[in-house]
Amino acid sequence: MSNGAQAAQGRIPETSTAGDPMIQMIGVHKWFGQFHVLRNIDLTVHRGERIVICGPSGSGKSTLIRCVNRLEEHQKGRIIVDGIELTNDLKHIEQVRREVGMVFQHFNLFPHLTVLENLTLAPIWVRKMPKRDAEQAAMLYLDRVKIPEQALKYPGQLSGGQQQRVAIARSLCMNPKVMLFDEPTSALDPEMIKEVLDVMIELAETGMTMIVVTHEMGFARTVADRVIFMDGGEIIEQNAPDAFFNNPKSDRTKLFLSQILHH
Amino acid sequence: MPDVTEQQEYPPGQHPSLPPPSSYIGPVAWLRTNLFSSPLNVLLTLVSLWLIWVIVPPLLDWAIFSATFVDGESREVCVKDGACWTMIIARFWQFMYGFYPVGERWRVDLGLILFFGAVIALLIDRTPGKKFIAIFLFGVYPFISYWLFVGGFLGLPLVETRLWGGLFLTLVLGSTGIIFSLPLGILLALGRRSELPVIRMMSTAFIEFTRAVPLITVLFMSSVMLPLFLPEGVTFDKLLRAMIGIALFGAAYMAEVVRGGLQAVPRGQYEGAMAVGLGYWQMTGLIVMPQALRIVIPGIVNTFIGLFKDTTLVIVIGLFELLNIVQAAFRDANWAGLAQEGYAFAAFVFFLFCFSMSRYSLYLERKLNTGHRR
């Protein structure tokens, strides 16, 4: 069986949240110059677990997930992804990035390549997959995000929602073990948010390990195993979604929830 | 004026697409919007028409209608009022090949045909097997052209580079400058943005030093100073030195153009490339550089055109490219006083090449536009 077909089948769903740890952050600190942006972050994400991170802007939630694939460097503490510790070792960094998919607020698709080329680039160059297998797999993923008919267009010719779905498919083509979402719906027009969330919900149902930074609290309620609230660079509170929304413990969480839920 | 009386009511949601009013399309509307839209525009149009009237007819009269087109040995055949193209006709082949021996000129023709054939094939979209043409052009052609142009082995007699001249020499200098300056410039631009301090400082120093010096100085130094530093007996072909000087000089300018393009590529593109696991060279070659170069096509072609024209400066080291060999011709007693015709001819040839580059770059910009809005 070819690599491509294997990739397209997706992984076997794992429901247990008590699976082995996929991501471990131990006492992580990060500074931007003098600004202490992450303060003593301890976080373990288990295989198959779905985590939503919320918090006011500037609370460090994006920075936190960007540390997981080393788009940002941490200055203190340890980050271990799938057994590989992130250090200055470039080999380890590239190893981790191969296993961690990321979806950005502004899609970051490659505008000079067609949708299909966007999807096959990394499998061909990083995974050394034959072009035909990569294209086959890419078409299956485009099917899964429901835009196979756009394969030969350029990103600039698609709507925001379509672009974000292409971005999700692009990450999936690398057959990642973890998917990071950095405010995936914040840059979208309101009528396009649902199509992207639907794709993310379907992805969650396949058992993908996911960390999602978002303000879509409906998504958090239905999909998340755990909701984390960050403020001022710290994890203030974390809980299962029901308990988190119905019975927040800290005052800051209550204030934040009242601000985003009653507007 | 749109016809208000025919305004028709449609139920909401039923309004059909209507053709635009006639005042908005057609040649009259084009004239009105483009040439006579305001009093200032009317004035500018009239002034332009007057300038065309003043300049073009006398110019055509001088260059064509009252001009002499007969072949001859000296300016004595120039009897008409207009231009006397006799010098150009009589010296034409010298302007093309310089002092390259007449019997060997087929080598130049063949070499240039191979070169332009390959380049044009590469520039046209639908050519099959571009990869092989590129391998030929960059891997094989340099050796073939050396064998053809210089010779001295494999059955071709040696033609020393001091005999080279005219348009041939201009093309050799211009194309080597153009072909080497782009990749060197790209490397220098990457070097200047490198995170490794040694590479960054060396690139910056090279770029700043080279840009701060006139090309004439670089050429002088390459021909006068360089031999002083080389050990006795080691000689470098004068032409080769000029070629290296021009290529390095062009590379410094190109580096800054490319750097501008690199800065215009959004940070998200780097992050997107890193997040899917691409390494530095893959990210640079597949994602960043294609976008950066597309953005700066006008600047790159600008540098190419500048470089092509700067080849005329090799006069200071005694090389006779097109402009210099034309100047030499009208300084000949037989042709004295035909400077206008000589310069007009040289200008026309330079214009042909530079204008072609410019048009191709416009085509390229349109072709590479993928509808991405920044």
DSSP state string for A6-57 = HHHT-PPP---TTS-EEEEEEEEEEEETTEEEEEEEEEEEETT-EEEEE-ST
Mutant choice from A62, A108, A177 vs B, greatest count of B C-beta within 10 A:
A108
For the four alpha carbons of A245, A246, A247 and A252, in that order, the dihedral sign comes to positive
pLDDT computed for residue B162 by the predictor: 86
CB of B61 closer than 8 Å to CB of B82:
yes
In the predicted structure, residue A9 carries a pLDDT above the cut 50: no
What distance in Å separates the CA atoms of residue B325 and residue B164, rounded to the nearest whole number?
11
Chain A residues 57-86 with CB within 8 Å of chain B: 69, 71
In the predicted structure, residue A8 carries a pLDDT above the cut 70: no
Q: Alpha carbon of B160 to those of A24, A182, B97, B334: distances in Å?
A: 71, 65, 13, 28
pLDDT computed for residue B373 by the predictor: 53
Chain A residues 125-164 with CB within 8 Å of chain B: 125-126, 154-157
Runs of H (alpha helix) within chain B: 27-34, 39-60, 86-97, 105-123, 130-135, 141-149, 166-192, 197-211, 215-220, 226-229, 238-264, 267-275, 280-282, 289-295, 297-310, 322-331, 339-367
Q: Using the beta-carbon criterion (under 8 Å), do B372 and A94 form an inter-chain contact?
A: no
pLDDT computed for residue B45 by the predictor: 93
Q: Alpha carbon of B353 to those of B34, B167, B313: distances in Å?
A: 31, 11, 17
Residues of B within 8 A of A138 (CB-CB) are none
Residues of B within 8 A of A84 (CB-CB) are none
Residues of A within 8 A of B373 (CB-CB) are 156
pLDDT computed for residue A248 by the predictor: 92
Q: Using the beta-carbon criterion (under 8 Å), do B286 and A125 form an inter-chain contact?
A: yes
Amino acid (one-letter) located at B361: S
pLDDT computed for residue B154 by the predictor: 86
pLDDT computed for residue A67 by the predictor: 95
Mean pLDDT of A156-162: 94
DSSP code string of A127-158: S---HHHHHHHHHHHHHHTT-GGGTTS-GGGS
pLDDT computed for residue A4 by the predictor: 42
Q: Using the beta-carbon criterion (under 8 Å), do A156 and B278 form an inter-chain contact?
A: no
Least confident of A229-238, A254-263, B263-272: A254-263
Percentage of chain A modeled with pLDDT above 70: 92
Least confident of A52-66, A159-173, A217-231, B60-74: B60-74
pLDDT computed for residue B300 by the predictor: 94
pLDDT computed for residue A1 by the predictor: 39
pLDDT computed for residue B18 by the predictor: 86
What distance in Å separates the CA atoms of residue B50 and residue A73, rounded to the nearest whole number?
67
Mean pLDDT of A159-173: 95
Q: Using the beta-carbon criterion (under 8 Å), do B291 and A125 form an inter-chain contact?
A: no
pLDDT computed for residue B4 by the predictor: 52
Q: What is the pTM of this model?
A: 0.84
Q: How many CB atoms lie within 10 A of CB B63?
A: 16
Judge whether B334 is closer than 8 Å to chain A, CB to CB. Answer: no
Judge whether A177 is closer than 8 Å to chain B, CB to CB. Answer: no
pLDDT computed for residue A12 by the predictor: 39
Residues of chain B with pLDDT under 70: 1-7, 234, 371-374
Least confident of A66-70, A156-160, B119-123: B119-123
pLDDT computed for residue B44 by the predictor: 94
What distance in Å separates the CA atoms of residue A102 and residue A65, rounded to the nearest whole number?
9
pLDDT computed for residue A18 by the predictor: 52
Using pLDDT thresholds of 50, 70 and 90, give the confidence band for residue A71: very high
Distance from CA of A12 to the nearest CA of B (A): 22
Mean pLDDT of A150-177: 95
